[in-house]
């Protein structure tokens, strides 16, 4: 009688050990899947980041105190609708095609836009250790011409890297269109 109770007790202990092992294995599988970063989530985050960063740059206004020529008469200037449009209309930079707005000590609007956009993107995406590439082109009946293009300080986002785009932002700048795209990668 003592021996059968002992065997039954041993079997119960073995059963409890098996249950504990199964629960431990289940928790390990759950932890593995929970800690694994989802590529879809990472892509969505980069896409949202690229889109909102470019939208923020385009919606930035220039303080009239930045000496943009006509800006004192018109109030704050938008980087997109006034500075970038002026840049596209007076491109390429030459002595015969001076821009209307000369901000930041008499700079051509293209140089001022590039400098301001680079500062804004470096202060945000650069601080978050993200690489980026901003490409802005003038689209006419001919082949598109690069208006402004620059990478982050850490390098750009070439096509062979995993990268996401802001989508294409268009701006009407008579007689052409301006196409802006921001690429973001890790």
What is the pLDDT at residue 178?
87
What is the pLDDT at residue 64?
58
Domain 44-185 -> CATH class: alpha beta
Structural domain boundaries in the chain: 44-185
Contact criterion met (CB below 8 Å) for 178 and 134 = no
What is the pLDDT at residue 66?
58
What is the pLDDT at residue 58?
85
Sequence-distant (6+) residues with CB within 8 A of 44 are none
Per-residue pLDDT of the chain (186 residues; tens, 9 = 90+): 566 777 777 788 888 888 989 998 888 887 777 666 555 556 557 788 888 888 888 888 877 555 665 544 456 667 777 788 888 887 766 644 577 777 777 778 888 888 888 988 888 888 888 888 989 888 877 778 888 888 888 888 877 878 888 888 888 877 778 888 988 887
What is the pLDDT at residue 42?
60
Q: For residue 66, what is the DSSP state? A: G
Contact criterion met (CB below 8 Å) for 157 and 137 = no
The reported pTM is: 0.68
Strands (E), 93-175: 131-139, 145-151, 163-165, 169-173
Instruction: List Cα–Cα distances, 97 to 13, 88, 91, in angstroms.
Output: 89, 11, 7
Reading the block at residue 11, the tokens are: 């079997």
């Amino acid at each position: 009688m003592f021996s059968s109770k002992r065997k039954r007790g041993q079997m119960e202990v073995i059963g409890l050990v098996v249950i504990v092992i199964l629960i431990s294995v289940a928790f390990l599988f759950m932890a593995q899947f929970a800690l694994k970063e989802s590529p879809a989530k990472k892509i969505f985050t980069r896409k949202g980041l690229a889109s909102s960063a470019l939208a923020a740059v385009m919606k930035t206004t220039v303080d009239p105190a930045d000496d943009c020529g006509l800006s004192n008469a018109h109030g704050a200037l938008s980087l997109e609708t006034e500075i970038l449009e002026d840049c596209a209309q007076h491109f390429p930079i030459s002595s015969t095609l001076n821009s209307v707005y000369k901000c930041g000590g008499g700079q051509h609007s293209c140089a001022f836009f590039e400098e301001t956009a680079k500062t804004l993107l470096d202060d945000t995406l650069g601080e978050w250790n993200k690489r980026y590439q901003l490409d802005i082109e003038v689209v006419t009946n001919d082949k598109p011409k690069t208006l402004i293009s620059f990478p982050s300080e850490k390098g750009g986002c070439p096509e062979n890297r995993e990268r996401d785009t802001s989508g294409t932002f268009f701006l009407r700048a008579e007689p052409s269109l301006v196409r802006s795209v921001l690429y973001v990668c890790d």
